[in-house]
Amino acid sequence: MKAVHKLIDLLFLILLIHFNANSMTRSEEKVFSGFMIDAPRGVETIEYYFRLIDFCQKEGMNAIIFRLTDDQGSAYLFTSHPELKMCEGAFSTKELKTIVDYAQNHGIEMIPEIESFGHSRYITQTKKYKSLSDSPYGEDFNALCPVNDSTLNLLKDLYREVASIFPSQYFHIGCDEVNWGSGELSKKALESKSKPQIWAEYVNKLHSSLKDIGRKTIIWGDVPLYNDIEVLDLLDKDMVIMDWNYWETNKEKIQTLAQTVLSKGFKLIGCPAVSWCAWGPRVGEKQFQNINAYADVYGNLNHSNNLGIFLSNWVPKRYLQGSQWDTYTIAAEILRNKGNYHFMAAIPQFVKDHFGAKYDANWEKVYSEIYRETPQWGCGRDDSLKFFCWHSEKEIKDIAVENKNLKNKFLEISKLLTTCKEGITKNKHDFEDLLLTIEFIEYNYNRQKDLLDFIHSKETDPESVGAYLKKVASEDQQMLSKINLAWSIGRRIKPGTADEDFMWSFNLGASFSKHLNEKPEEFMKILKNI
């Protein structure tokens, strides 16, 4: 009998140890409050990334996702595969390790991201790996071939090399915005399997290769959560899914989706945006509604597999680097307060801490107006706010057809901001970037208005056309010089003369007006066809 009791006691002890171990694992699973760096779309200096890490630490964040690759190239100089397309200013192993170590020493976990399915032209635009392209010709979204063994073998090499630099247990493999199935190998595979089956099998293989080197997989969630939901039930349950959605503001929808994914056994991270393709040099207050909704849901969702929230921040080429700190501060405060936070509540302390200035009615109006009036751009969902930095015949015609003089309050904002300049005692360069950004937006509004006014004037004689084009071309070049100089500070790249992401494509606008000034007959032809 005593032996039975001892056996029972032993079993109880084993169960207790097992329970405590599991409880410890759950309690030690980090809940993230993080930021995302989009390095391949604008490699920035080590010093700037140090500053961003300092900011994250100050704001109570504990992680950064460091995107290393995209269609534009790799922001890291791979030694295992130097034949890949590298970004201008890409980091050496030593440089990247310096950034990672600095973050680790400041309590910030650095998680690498390597694009492994879509966003993969850093691989397929090279001669050696052109055959791995599996995307339809001419489409923006692209893909690696998921059924080619060479794809998996290459990515395993990249994973091992990057994992040797980043000590984080997590590894992000991308897999968003995938457009695949055009290659012969994929067509053949689709004869016997569905697209969801192939998609899931491929990602599960990537996941397995990361498990082999002791890493946990994170993937973007657009395909399994929104676009092809059959995939979700086919994925390995021990990978982490990021629910990225940059326009949703309905908390009930966000929460319902989160609970559905969690109920299936996946770990989940929420991901709203600070900035994405809806915005240009500034972000409008509408974006904070998205962050507030996600912060409320993921900040209050009590589930052991809820791993928190990251703020994505896309394409730094769209803005002047020093002009964004107020936006980052607001977004961070929304996370800290778990949503339900009005963006202006962060501004008084920001002005005091960042600029060393006294907050007054002028500062209040400056920031409330900036966030209220900033226009959307590109893929924004409110077409009434769409803004044209015209740089083509089509855009000139669009402005004429729309025939809309957009409301411009940025001259008033610029004047108010100038009055605040005297009180600036800290981070003067950031203030100059903010002021130039406001002047730049004002300039573009006026540029569009002047075009529409000239079209309405119906002055199509060579002298009038020549005078107008000379004026706009000269002013464009002056503004471009200012923007280029400010933009280049803190970057390891030069402004791209043909880059459509650069500051509302203003480089293209300045180039186009210069071209028309040299060939006014082309502009006269456009006017006749309106």
Model pLDDT for residues 215-242, shown as the tens digit of each residue: 999 999 999 999 999 999 999 999 999 9
Closest CA to 194 of 226, 220, 228, 170: 228
For the entire predicted model, the pTM comes to 0.93
Alpha helices in 106-176 (DSSP H): 121-124, 149-163
Model pLDDT for residues 189-219, shown as the tens digit of each residue: 999 999 999 999 999 999 999 999 999 999 9
Q: Give one word for 358, left, alpha or beta, with left for phi > 0 and alpha for psi -120 to 50.
A: beta
User: What are 109's strand-pairing partners?
Assistant: 63
> DSSP code of 484?
H
> What's the pLDDT at 218?
98
Q: Are 440 and 479 in contact (CB under 8 A)?
A: yes
Distance, in Å, from the CA atom of 16 to the CA atom of 281, rounded to the nearest integer, reads 56
Distance, in Å, from the CA atom of 65 to the CA atom of 63, rounded to the nearest integer, reads 7
Quote the Cα angle for 495-500-501, to 5°.
Answer: 70
DSSP string, 382-407: -GGG------SHHHHHHHHHH-----
Which residue positions in the chain have pLDDT lower than 50? 1-2, 4-27
**The CATH number of 31-344 is which of 3.20.20.80, 3.40.50.2020, 3.60.40.10, 1.20.1440.230?**
3.20.20.80
Distance, in Å, from the CA atom of 163 to the CA atom of 414, rounded to the nearest integer, reads 47
DSSP three-state, residue 309: strand
In the chain, residues under CATH classification 3.20.20.80 are 31-344
Q: Are 43 and 493 in contact (CB under 8 A)?
A: yes
Model pLDDT for residues 41-68, shown as the tens digit of each residue: 999 999 999 999 999 999 999 999 999 9
Distance, in Å, from the CA atom of 520 to the CA atom of 47, rounded to the nearest integer, reads 45
For residue 11, with 0-12 CB atoms within 10 Å meaning exposed, 13-18 middle and 19 or more buried, which class applies?
exposed
